[in-house]
Structure 1
């Protein structure tokens, strides 16, 4: 997945991976994480939050856009990409969940994207980095 800009966040939860992935995969839980209004657009092909499930995100005054789950391997991996309505190009996200020795979960979250406006990608990346770092602790599985 080649894109010039990357955002990387690592966060540790006290809950086990199955609990964390259930919370992360439920679209409606993610509003506080992204600072967005989130609406489910469609359920997944074979399960509610599986591959093909799509959410609409509306952040501030920006137009809404859709993110669609492309990989759902509970309790270890979620991948998604923007499928409609974003100025970001080639946007994708990967959330890898690993159990910790004390029964918690380490989330390794990477996002890749590009922006058509020269020089804007690092700014967007920094905004995403800060928002997600502050938002993840609000997701209390």
Structure 2
């Protein structure tokens, strides 16, 4: 089965601390992936509730899967893995936040293997489309918080 690699980039006219805080909050993160629903199953034991060890459940119709935060560097990066369910294997998401003139650059990569032939390209397309729809609202919300 072929591995899927999705690369997403987005500029936010907001400070890195604000953008990072937004994306480390499971509920905000879940809103990006319309029509998915996000439910927090476990918060991290650290001072960062969305930090290492926290778990969220994503639901799209009847498909459910759990994502566990595996790496968390405040204001710099977040990594998560699908640890249960879903139509994919070896799913890893990595978000890297950089200060750039006028705001923050988010570089987001998603890698996964499909459990079933021919599903990988479809899932990659759905993820990319959902990101484009969801991130525009995040851009607006974060810009208004920084105004």
Q: TM-score, normalised by structure 1?
A: 0.91
Task: Give aligned pairs, total.
Answer: 137
Would you identify which runs of 4 or more consecutive aligned residues in structure 1 move more than 3 Å? none
1:42, 1:54 within 8 Å by CA — same for their partners in 2?
yes
Match of 2:62 in 1: 62
1:16, 1:99 within 8 Å by CA — same for their partners in 2?
yes
Superposed CA RMSD in Å reads 1.3
C-alpha distance in 2 between matches for 1:82 and 1:8: 17
Match of 1:45 in 2: 45
Unaligned runs of 5+ in 1: none
Match of 1:11 in 2: 10
C-alpha distance in 1 between matches for 2:73 and 2:30: 22
**Structure whose residues are more often helix by fraction:** 2
1:32, 1:138 within 8 Å by CA — same for their partners in 2?
no
C-alpha distance in 2 between matches for 1:111 and 1:62: 22
Structure 1 residues 29-56: Cα deviation after superposition (integer angstroms, max 9, x where no partner): 1232011111110011313111001111
Match of 2:145 in 1: none
Unaligned runs of 5+ in 2: 143-147
Match of 1:137 in 2: 136
Q: TM-score, normalised by structure 2?
A: 0.88
